[in-house]
Amino acid sequence: MSLSKVKEADCLPKEKAACGECGQNGRRESDGSPEELLSVRERALAIVSRLEEVYPEAKCSLSYSEPYQLLIATRLSAQCTDARVNTVTPELFSRFPSLEALADAELSAVEEIIKPCGLFRTKAKSIVGLCRELISRYGGEVPDSMEELLTLPGIGRKTANLILGDVFGRPAVVCDTHCMRICERLGLSAGRDAYKVELRLREVLPMDRASDFCHRLVMFGRQTCTARKPVCGSCPLSDLCEKAGSEG
């Protein structure tokens, strides 16, 4: 979690149409105009504000106490639930209580602990390699730039954005499956290409609130706007959603 450069117009969602202006799918083709972008920004602000009321406490669902531990936890979360990762990391960080200890760890010992997270051989190799890279290249510190974070083993834009937002308080958009699914339904973005969605959301979201918004989307996606049979009848965003009631 190589990327191609995309045009801004490629990221624009389609708006609901008035009668006579729509295609077969009932949605107006986005023209990429300043007026259209302003309209989406206004709706995005309303959505962000509404979710802040519903979920006043926004935080990462992965447990950690040091920045490098969040890097490791996110690596473990690939194809695994955060809840399961949180049952594994206490033992991992107790057995190897420092970055240096993990860098020197035997792969077999790490594999045994993280086995419940799946893909344990690949993840163990990545984690040990990551710790060694942090020590050899960054003096044991987690780097604070997207470019440097992306050079680390197993780290993609989703994890890099999480680190930048949660650890360093930088404007960040964490495009996980919840974010992409929900923002497409809400008409804030189009498609499931994580990089394109990130670029689009950076255009329309208030970026000083974007990182916490992404955490709120996770809670909202688990409780209400689920992948299958979303609970549209009790959704706090139903009046702002382009697909309210259509996927239930």
Query: Distance (Å, rounded) from C-alpha 145 to C-alpha 148?
Result: 5
For the record, the structure tokens of 244 come out as: 């309210």
Mean pLDDT of 115-126: 97
Global pTM reads: 0.82
Q: Are 75 and 108 in contact (CB under 8 A)?
A: no
CA dihedral of residues 67, 58, 213, 142 (deg, nearest 10)? 0
Report the range out of 56-60, 178-182, 242-246 with the highest average pLDDT: 178-182
Alpha helices (H) in the chain, listed in sequence order = 34-54, 67-76, 82-95, 99-103, 107-114, 120-138, 146-149, 157-166, 177-186, 194-204, 210-223
pLDDT of residue 149: 97
Q: Which of 14, 144, 176, 243 is catalytic?
A: 176
DSSP 111-162: HHHHGGGS-HHHHHHHHHHHHHHHHHHHTT----SHHHHTTSTT--HHHHHH
176 is catalytic: yes
Position 18 scores a pLDDT of 34
Q: pLDDT value at position 174?
A: 98
Q: Which residues are annotated as a binding site for [4Fe-4S] cluster?
A: 225, 232, 235, 241
Domains of the chain (ranges; CATH) run 34-57+172-240 (1.10.1670.10), 67-166 (1.10.340.30)
CA 207 vs. chain centroid, Å, equals 14
In this prediction, residues 105-121 reach a mean pLDDT of 98
Residue 74: burial class (beta carbons within 10 Å; 0-12, 13-18, 19+) = buried
**Alpha carbon distance 3, 22 (integer Å):** 32
For the segment 52-78, the average pLDDT, to the nearest whole number, is 96
Active-site residue, from 123, 158, 196, 212 = 158
pLDDT at residue 63, rounded to an integer: 97
Residue 31 confidence class, pLDDT cut points 50, 70, 90: low
The residue type of 79 is Q
**pLDDT of 196-244, one tens digit each?**
999 999 999 999 999 999 999 999 999 999 999 999 999 999 999 988 8
Strand partners, 28: 15
Q: Please tell me the distance from the alpha carbon of residue 45 to that of residue 57, in angstroms, as a whole number.
A: 18
158 catalytic, yes or no? yes
